[in-house]
Amino acid sequence: MEFPVKIHYERSASSAHRWMHCAGSVNAQRGLPAGDTTFADEGTRAHACAERILRGLSVSEFPDDMISHAHTYVDSVRELAQGHPIEVELELPISHLTGEEGATSTADAVVLRTDIKRINIHDLKYGYNEIVAKDNEQAILYALMVLDAYDPEGVIYGVETVGVYMHQPRVRYAPSEWILTRDELNAYRPEILSASMATLDPNAPRTPGAKQCKYCRAKPCAEAIAAVTSECADMFVNHEETPKDVAGRADIVSLAELVKKADFIRDVIKAAESRIYARLIDRQPVPGFKLKLGRKGDREWSPEAENKLISLGLKDVAYTSRLRTPADLEKIIGKKDQRWIEIKECIRQAPAKPILTVAEDTATEYVPEDVSLFTNLDHEELIG
Ligand code: SF4
């Protein structure tokens, strides 16, 4: 199946998280290759699948798990639409917001809810990196885009708010929601336009940061490397110290600050490693590095093995019959099958373990049990 090729604008809504925070990134990544597009291609396919479901078309050529995730998204869009018409894959202008001539952006789904005086815009994200709608630059541009297209002055449909819903069916069932009033949205206009205009300066500064550098094709630029180097260097008092010494000596506030930047530091180092690797594969020297062969792949049978195993009398010992995992079986027989409903009772699952996240994460906070309540009890009380 062929998917439509979209024009990529330099100051697009989907890259606003970058150019709004690093004006120099537009010049820096101009002309650079897109790199590995595996995830982007998968996202394009998932969007096409969801679009077809919303339009009532067949999706038989898509993989089962993609269809299942697309249904999660579509169910949620329909539920939030409450019977109002759903506009699918709606291309609308954003050039008046960014100043980039002819620029448009495409909304995955838009619903005008005249009953609650709101326009809802739905965005499907197929990746695993959790994205929240609130304070999201793309969400702001999308919201302004639909507001201006549908009801710029609020006199056509009386629209008072815009709801942005970011759906990530692989991460969570419910979409992340952000509802903005007309005034809140209008307040962003000057900031967007001035950030966009700043990118036109040939000497626009490069401003490294986790958000903007994450998907920047110019990474690691000199400024990003310098930022990471100084972040790390600031932690060390002298060159004899090991990372463990630093972790043991530093106060918890400094360590928390460092860990907050860990993703950014890791990202820049990973990008640097890829560049070094590509250079060595191209037979160009890199001081202090060389290539070596890693582990061989896992052993597997060649196509003629089966016949040979039979001729050697090894057929019985060569095969195993294993129970499918709950996830596999659910996919095969379907969630609504009565047998699945009955067998579901036999599923065991280890409880979720606490994991570290930043305070801004919208996930519900997990508070560990106060173990001192138990450790202070007398031995007799525990066994009595
Ligand atoms: S890598 Fe970061 S600092 Fe460098 S141009 Fe890209 S966004 Fe800006």
Share of the chain above pLDDT 90, in %: 63
192 in ligand 1 pocket by Cβ < 6 Å?
Answer: no
Query: Is the minimum distance from the CB of 120 to ligand 1 under 6 angstroms?
Result: no
CA of 140 to the centre of ligand 1 (A): 22
| pLDDT tens per residue across span 211-264 | 899 889 998 888 988 888 887 776 666 667 776 777 677 778 878 887 888 888
Q: pLDDT (tens digit, 9 = 90+) per residue, 105-126? A: 999 999 999 999 999 999 999 9
Which pTM value belongs to this model?
0.75
**What pLDDT score does 105 carry?**
95
Instruction: State which amino acid sits at residue 119.
Output: I
- Look at residue 6 and tell me whether its pLDDT is greater than 70: no
Q: 236 C-alpha to center of ligand 1: Å?
A: 25
Q: Within 10 Å of residue 99's Cβ, how many Cβ atoms? A: 16
Average pLDDT, stretch 17-24? 97
pLDDT tens-digit map of 261-305: 888 888 888 888 998 999 999 999 999 999 999 999 999 999 999
Q: What domains, with CATH codes, occur in the chain? A: 16-198 (3.90.320), 219-281 (no CATH), 305-346 (no CATH)
Element (H, E) at 263: helix 262-281
Question: What are 86's strand-pairing partners?
Answer: 111
Ligand 1 near 208 CB (within 6 A): yes
Nearest in space to 219 (alpha carbons), one of 265, 276, 261, 272:
272
Q: What is the DSSP letter of 222?
A: H
- Expressed in angstroms and rounded, the spacing between residue 197 Cα and the centre of ligand 1 is 17
378 band by pLDDT with thresholds 50, 70 and 90: low
Helix runs in 7-132, H state only: 16-19, 25-29, 38-54, 64-81, 95-98
- For residue 271 and ligand 1, the question of a CB distance below 6 A is answered with no
- Short-list 18, 211, 184, CA closest to 98: 18
pLDDT in tens, 321-371: 889 999 889 888 888 899 999 999 999 999 889 988 888 777 789 999 887
| Ligand 1 geometric centre to CA of 221 (Å) | 6
Residue 65 has pLDDT above 80, yes or no: yes
At 157, the amino acid letter reads Y
Indicate the residue type of 359: A
Residue nearest to ligand 1 atom 7, measured at CA: 213
Question: Which is the closest atom of ligand 1 to the Cα of 22?
Answer: 8
